[in-house]
Amino acid sequence: MFKIVKKQPLNPTVTKMVIEAPLVARKAKAGQFIILRASEDGERIPLTIAGYDREAGTVDIIFQIVGGTTMELNALNEGDFLPDFVGPLGRPSEVEGFKKVAVVGGGVGCAIALPVAQALHANGCEVHSVVGFRCKDLVILEDEFNACSAKVCMMTDDGTYGTKGLVTNALDELIKAGNEYDEVIAIGPVIMMKFVCQLTKKYNIKTVISMNPIMIDGTGMCGGCRLTVGGETKFACVDGPDFDGHLVDFDEAMKRGAMYRDFEQHKRDEFCNLLNKEA
Amino acid sequence: MAEKNMSLKKCPMPSLDPNYRNKVFEEVATGYTYDMAIEEARRCLHCKNKPCVSKCPVQIDIPEFIAKLANEDIEGAFEVINRSSSLPAVCGRVCPQETQCESKCVRGIKGEPVGIGRLERFVADWHREHATEKPTAPASNGHKVAIIGAGPAGLTCAGDLARMGYKVTVYEALHVAGGVLSYGIPEFRLPKAIVNKEVGNLKAMGVDIETDMVIGKVLTIDELFEMGNEAVFIGSGAGLPRFMGIPGESLKGVYSANEFLTRINLMKAYRDGSKTPIRHGKKVAVVGGGNVAMDAARCAKRLGADEVYIVYRRSMNELPARAEEVEHAQEEGIIFKTLTNPVEVLAFNNPDDPRDPRNGEVCGMKCVEMELGEPDASGRRRPIVKEGSEFVLDIDTMIMAIGTSPNPLIRSTTPGLEANKHGCIVTQGEDGLTSREGVYAGGDAVTGAATVILAMGAGKNAAAAIDEYIKSK
């Protein structure tokens, strides 16, 4: 059993939890993920590690409430326990040997981009962060990005905060302004990563993206997380989750990601009804 | 001794009606009654040279346990089996007895062999239902051993070592123990309550089972030694699913058999109200001809499919699945499309609406017909494509059951652990010693995908070798 030490809503749809998991905390690195179950008969879901404290023995997760399981997770409180918390899984992000990197985060993807930005910064790399949200109310982790970045471009779709526009607009401007990046790291919705990669391809800048596909075991067993990279089938759980964004078939990944959309919507409604009844 | 039963036929196994069972997940074969078991046991001739035992990977003294059973000493029969096997109720259900013990049965020369598997199952089930004594932990010998993977190989190795007094910790990556017995083999062939009970017996013997532990990630093998373990056994299985490499394999509605079966068996997606989603296809093709393919096809049928096809490139004669599984599948209405091979999975595409949610869903499978040529390296006749035989099979779900490879997590994180080009861990001979001192391996991680009982045999041999190694230190 894994204790929820702290729970903090970051915005109306995104929650941060600090989980007591000393063995995972001891090995965790930026870019890796965990798999959890929120209840004994629950679904296994993968979440990327948003931070860790080796001394305290805790791991941070940040999740968006999208389906039944994330809703169930969000109904738990400080002091409650998760039955399962497995990790750290996947390969860590490469964060060494860079001089200047642009980190692009979109929505809740910023939670995953942050530890990568922090690790790069800690290794002496100049980090330019481009973070995008739908609107002001959904902005998360602004202070944290400011603390580890030489430059932060805050973007919102509707212009209620920062600059109105997409992350690709800001990244394009940074590149045009003469910034020479060793690498771009983009983490967010698949559609955002696709367009970032289209842009950086034009400039021939190596771009790494982090996939968060449907997954069950997280150890290479189910094959549910497979995606096509450079024409080959890869498993996000053991070959990734980071991949060369210029080789990923994003359209296929988007379709696969929507495989259970109806089921999720249904489960979410079901869970809402359950909460209403209890209330 | 009671009178012999000289019937040429086995007492048939009672089973649920095919048209009832193909809609539910209840166990298909309901098991011998007491009288049936005693009758069948009396068919055994108790050969002095025990040919059946020579084909049992865990060396159960078969004539001895059957003799006790024939004399209605069922607990005595259980004790004989229990000396050699940690999972008798499992083996009695899933072992391919027809190619092992029963293949050497003298009664099989002029008739059917003794139903050894069915008798083993009866004895184990009877013990589970009637025994009052719980297994206890033997006296400790003060030595610690770590086991990676709580599947058939790991559990057997753990059971044998625990009996010898070792303190055994089994590390399991998933949230429940059992390995393929839990995530792979469906409830209707192996009820999970039985797996849990057998795992419970090991725990009662003092075996620690730590779930949610992915060795190679959270702890390395070197760290397991630092923690005071004197030997490590790797039984991590062959979990990595293979795909065919044909276009369309990543469309919505294409599963690996592992994913499909894991959703159903481990995550209980077949139950109403399950939190894990599964696709309820109406027309399902399962590609492959092994036991896993049969399991996947029969699960798809139970989820409500109208048509389920087994698509296999060779003929009925070459199907690698157990004859009994093929029969059960046929009875349940699974359609066998043999001498057929898929070449492309076709996607639905609405040209007028790129946002149509059905876009990218499986809507058919382009296949070719095959014919059999000369035998290949495996001794089976090589399938050759028939020119101009292309056709489209109308399906909405496709399940790939064409095999698995060993999981890469351990070999990629353990320096000095040798593996072959297929990713199988290299061992020296029968006892499972790897290229690392004190590290043993067995089961599918070494052989590639094989059977439960072979994995158990490997776990057993490794346990004996580990005991010898630690004692000689």
Q: Mutate which of B211, B250, B275 to test chain A, going by most A C-beta atoms within 10 A? A: B275
Chain B neighbors of A271, CB-CB under 8 A? none
The two structure tokens encoding residue B440: 């043993």
Q: Which residues on chain A are in Cβ contact (under 8 Å) with B213?
A: 23, 86
Across chain B, mean pLDDT equals: 93
Whether B251 and chain A come into contact, CB under 8 Å, resolves to yes
Interchain CB distance below 8 Å, B263 and A68: no
pLDDT of B295-334, one tens digit each? 999 999 999 999 999 999 999 999 999 988 999 999 999 9
| Confidence bin at A266 (pLDDT 50/70/90) | confident
Which pTM does this prediction carry? 0.92
Q: Is B103 on the interface with A (CB under 8 A)?
A: no
Residue A277's pLDDT is what?
Answer: 55
Nearest to A255 by CA among B216, B231, B361: B361
B413 and B220 in contact (C-beta within 8 Å)?
Answer: yes
pLDDT of residue B235: 96
- What the block records as the tokens of A196 is 């970032």
Query: Do residue A43 and residue B275 have CB atoms under 8 angstroms apart?
Result: yes
Q: Is B358 on the interface with A (CB under 8 A)?
A: no
For residue B432, which amino acid is it?
G
A123 pLDDT more than 90 = yes
User: Is pLDDT above 60 for B1?
Assistant: no
**Residue A276: predicted pLDDT:** 60
pLDDT (average), residues B9-14: 94
Q: A258 vs B252: CB contact, 8 Å cut-off?
A: yes
Report which of residues A223 and B170 the model is more confident about: B170
Q: What is the pLDDT of residues B323-336, one digit of tens each?
A: 889 999 999 999 99
> Residues for chain B: how many in total?
473
Half-sphere exposure of A170 (CA within 13 A, CB side): 27
Q: Which of B250, B258, B274 sits opposite A222 (nearest CB)?
A: B258
* pLDDT(B236) > 80: yes
Question: Could you tell me the pLDDT band of residue A250, with boundaries at 50, 70 and 90?
Answer: very high
Is residue A256 very low, low, confident or very high in pLDDT (cuts 50, 70, 90)? confident
pLDDT at A168 over 50: yes
pLDDT at A279: 43
Chain A residues with CB-CB distance to B under 8 A? 23-24, 27, 37, 39, 41-44, 68-69, 72, 83-89, 216-224, 226-228, 233, 235, 238, 249, 252, 255-256, 258-261, 263-264, 267
Q: How far is A166 from chain B (nearest CA, A)?
A: 21
What is the spatial distance between Cα B468 and Cα B161, in angstroms, rounded to a whole number?
11
Q: Is B408's Cβ below 8 Å from some Cβ in A?
A: yes
Question: Cβ of A87 and B214 within 8 Å?
Answer: yes
Confidence tier at B3 by pLDDT (50, 70, 90): confident
What is the chain A residue with the closest CA to B242?
A: A223
Instruction: State residue A133's pLDDT score.
Output: 95
Closest-CA residue of chain A to B239: A221
Given this model, what pLDDT does residue A115 score?
A: 95
Question: Which among B470, B473, B463, B472 is positioned nearest to B207, based on CA atoms?
Answer: B463
- B379 conformational bin, left if phi > 0, alpha if psi -120 to 50, beta if neither: left
Q: Which one, of A104, A140, A102, lies nearest residue A121 by Cα?
A: A102
What's the gap in Å between the CA of B217 and the closest CA on chain A?
6
CB contact under 8 A, A23 and B268: no
Tokens 């009804």, residue located: A273
Q: Which of B212, B215, B249 to mutate to test the interface with A (most CBs of A within 10 A)?
A: B212
pLDDT average, residue stretch B15-37:
95
Question: Quick one: which H or E segment has residue A167?
Answer: helix A167-176
Specify the pLDDT at position A275.
Answer: 62
B34 touching chain A per CB within 8 A? no
Is there a contact between B256 and A224 if contact means CB atoms under 8 Å apart?
Answer: yes
B253 within 8 A of B361, measured Cβ to Cβ: yes
Q: How confident is the model at residue B272 (pLDDT cuts 50, 70, 90)?
A: confident
Chain A to chain B Cβ contacts (< 8 Å): 115
A-chain CB neighbours of B173 within 8 Å are 86, 217, 219
C-alpha span between B354 and B360 (Å, rounded): 10
**Is the pLDDT confidence value at A99 over 60?**
yes
- Conformational region of residue B60, where left means phi above 0, alpha means psi within -120 to 50, and beta covers everything else: beta
* Chain B nearest-CA residue for A68: B275
Sheet bearing B254-256, strands edge to edge: B254-256, B397-400, B283-287, B307-312, B335-338
Percent of the residues in chain A that have a pLDDT greater than 70, as a whole number: 97
If 0-12 CB within 10 Å is exposed, 13-18 middle and 19+ buried, where does residue A215 land? Answer: buried
Q: Distance (Å) from the C-alpha of residue A150 to the closest C-alpha of chain B?
A: 33
Residue B171, SS3?
Answer: strand
Going by DSSP bridges, is the β-strand pair A58-64/A14-20 parallel, antiparallel, or unpaired? antiparallel
B259 contacts A87? CB cut-off 8 A: no
Contacts of B193 by beta carbon, 8 Å cutoff, 6+ apart:
none
Asked if pLDDT for residue B2 goes beyond 90, the answer is no
Closest residue in B to A72 (Cα) is: B275
Cβ-nearest to A43 among B212, B250, B267? B267
Range with lowest mean pLDDT among B6-10, B39-43, B397-401: B6-10
User: What is the average per-residue pLDDT within B109-128?
Assistant: 95
How far is residue A130's CA from residue A107's CA, in Å, rounded to a whole number? 11
Give the closest of A24, A216, A258 to B218, CB-based. Answer: A24
Give B175-210 pLDDT, tens digit per residue. 999 999 999 999 999 999 999 999 999 999 999 999
DSSP state of B11: P
Instruction: Please state the ipTM of this predicted complex.
Output: 0.90
B88, B80 in Cβ contact below 8 A?
Answer: no
Minimal Cβ distance to A84: which of B212, B217, B408:
B212
Question: Over 60: is that where the pLDDT of B461 sits?
Answer: yes
Q: What is the pLDDT of residues B341-386, one digit of tens each?
A: 999 999 999 899 888 888 889 999 999 999 999 888 878 888 999 9
Q: Long-range contacts made by residues B49-56, C-beta under 8 angstroms, separation at least 24? A: B51/B104, B51/B105, B51/B106, B52/B101, B52/B102, B52/B104, B52/B105, B52/B114, B52/B116, B53/B101, B54/B104, B55/B100, B55/B101, B55/B103, B55/B104, B56/B84, B56/B100, B56/B101, B56/B453
Mutate to test the interface with A, among B183, B192, B217, B353 (most CBs of A within 10 A): B217
- The shortest CB-CB distance from A42 to any of B212, B275, B357 is to B275
Contacts of B266 in chain A (CB under 8 A): 216
- Average pLDDT on B73-94 reads 92
